[in-house]
Amino acid sequence: MADCPHTIGVEFGTRIIEVAGQKIKLQIWDTAGQERFRAVTRSYYRGAAGALMVYDITRRSTYNHLSSWLTDARNLTNPNTVIFLIGNKADLDAQRDVTYEEAKQFAEENGLMFVEASAKTGENVEEAFLETAKKIYQNIQDGSLDLNAAESGVQHKPTQPGRTNLNSDSQPNRDNCSC
């Protein structure tokens, strides 16, 4: 992973998926994990409809940092923001430093969705984004996320029909970028 360049500030990616028969355009904001960008990346939480918080299951330090990322995410987003915890590098089970059960418990205690995934093999990556989008869509349907609110992070675009932009802040810690 040494050849993978650090994220500067934030990188973007888009993906159009379908949830409940609706075309949804996911606007994914991949924010920098480096501490020096923290001041800048804090600006980007605002208006996020969902957040994917990624740690490395082979490095305990990334897991230990989760609570500080979570604090930021909770403080800087609206209460209905869906937060998904992802344990990356699930393919390196032999070098595992954080157990599934431990992380699962942490997720439950903090009301997060949780899955272990692998950016390398692509295992559960699609599912994580899809589940997040579904949850956001569900929030819109049951009214807990107001589309008209300025900071909902979700736009309904009549000019670009059927597309909903979701700002999904994913915060890869250090080397966890989806290369």
Partner 1 sequence: MEREEEAKRMEEEKEEERKRELEKEEERKRELDKEEERKRELEKEEERKSEIKREQEKRGEQEKNAGTTQESETVSQKAKPIRESKIGMKKPREKLGERMGARRLGAKVEKKPLESISSDSFKKSEDKMWNKEESQTDSAEAKQREEERQKEEKWRKQQQWEEQQKRWQQINEGEDKKEEEDTSWGGGWGGWGTSLLTAASTFTREVGRGVGTVMETVEGTLGVPDPETLAREIAERDKEIKEKLAKSEQSASREKTPEGNTEAEELESETGYTPSNGSAPTNQNEGSVGYVPSYGLGGLSSLGSLVSGVSGALETASSKVLMGGLDTLEVIGRKAMTVIQEGDPGLRKKRAFLTSSKPNLSMILQDARQRAAQEESDQRDGIQNKESGLFQRPNFDQAWENTEGPVHVEALSLVAKQCESKMNTLLQSMPPYLVDRIQNSNLTIKKTCEMDEESQLEGDFATQVTKIVSQIRLPLHSQKIREAWAGVEETASLIEEKKNLDWTAVEKEVYLSLALLIAQLAALTHKGSELALITPGSDPHAIANSFRELSCLVCAGMENTVDNICGVITAKASAADPDVNNTITNMYLQGASGNSCVQEGMMFLSSVLQYANTKLLAADL
Binding site for partner 1 (CB under 8 A): 8-10, 12, 21-23, 27, 29, 36-37, 39-40, 42-44, 46-47, 140-141, 147, 156-163
Q: Report the alpha-carbon distance of residue 177 to residue 168 in Å, rounded.
A: 14
- Least distance to partner 1, CB of residue 58, Å: 28
- Least distance to partner 1, CB of residue 145, Å: 11
User: In terms of CB distance, is 79 or 161 closer to partner 1?
Assistant: 161
Q: Helical H runs in 21-177?
A: 38-41, 60-64, 66-76, 100-109, 125-141
- Least distance to partner 1, CB of residue 121, Å: 28
Q: Report the alpha-carbon distance of residue 60 to residue 134 in Å, rounded.
A: 30
DSSP codes of every residue in 148-175: TSTTSSEEEESSSTTEEEEEEEEEE-TT
User: In terms of CB distance, is 8 or 179 closer to partner 1?
Assistant: 8
User: In terms of CB distance, is 111 or 158 closer to partner 1?
Assistant: 158
